[in-house]
């Protein structure tokens, strides 16, 4: 989970820059900006509590908030043309891809651990040392589905 933590922290640090850039252009889109900031807080809270289930829910809200933010940005040609916005959007998109990769690796590792501690002879050691299974980092169906932003404007 450490690799995911690093990427989530990096994205967490980039979001205020993106919001500030957007605020300059999106005077009437306060609700969309607040949704992203609330989701950001939810991710931080879940990480602080090491709440894997809560992190999955918060990540779903975060991704939906970012999708909404980028969709709303389409209505602001000056914002879309802003180099700072373009760089931040690219950086956050790269972080999202890296988070997805790490999430997949984490879940593979959790599955491997959970299967091994139930198999003989590993089960003997697992029970002796009180090893427990881990929760998968799960997301809602909408989170794992590909999203075509162009369809949102059609």
Instruction: In whole angstroms, give the CA distance from residue 61 to residue 137.
Output: 14
Q: How sure is the predictor about 26, in pLDDT bands with cuts at 50, 70 and 90?
A: confident
Domain 2-153 top-level CATH class: mainly alpha
pLDDT tens digits, residue range 55-111? Answer: 888 888 888 888 888 888 888 888 877 888 888 888 888 888 888 888 889 899 999
Task: Name the burial class of residue 133, with classes exposed (0-12), middle (13-18) and buried (19+) by CB atoms within 10 angstroms of its CB.
Answer: middle
pTM of the model: 0.64
pLDDT tens digits, residue range 128-143? Answer: 999 999 988 876 655 4
Mean pLDDT within 113-134: 93
Q: What residue segments make up the domains of the chain, in order of their start?
A: 2-153
């Amino acid at each position: 989970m450490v690799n995911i933590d690093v990427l989530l922290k990096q994205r967490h640090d980039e979001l205020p820059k993106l919001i500030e850039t957007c605020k300059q252009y999106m005077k009437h889109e306060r609700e969309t900006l607040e949704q992203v900031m609330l989701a950001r807080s939810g991710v931080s809270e879940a990480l602080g509590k090491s709440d894997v289930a809560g992190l999955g829910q918060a990540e779903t809200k975060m991704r939906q908030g970012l999708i909404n933010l980028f969709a709303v940005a389409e209505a602001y040609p000056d914002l879309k043309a802003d180099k700072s916005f373009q760089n931040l959007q690219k950086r956050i998109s790269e972080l999202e891809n890296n988070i997805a990769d790490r999430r997949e690796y984490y879940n593979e590792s959790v599955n491997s651990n959970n299967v091994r501690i139930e198999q003989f002879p590993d089960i003997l050691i697992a029970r002796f040392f009180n090893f427990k299974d881990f929760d998968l980092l799960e997301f809602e169906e909408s989170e794992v589905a590909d999203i075509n932003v162009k369809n949102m404007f059609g």
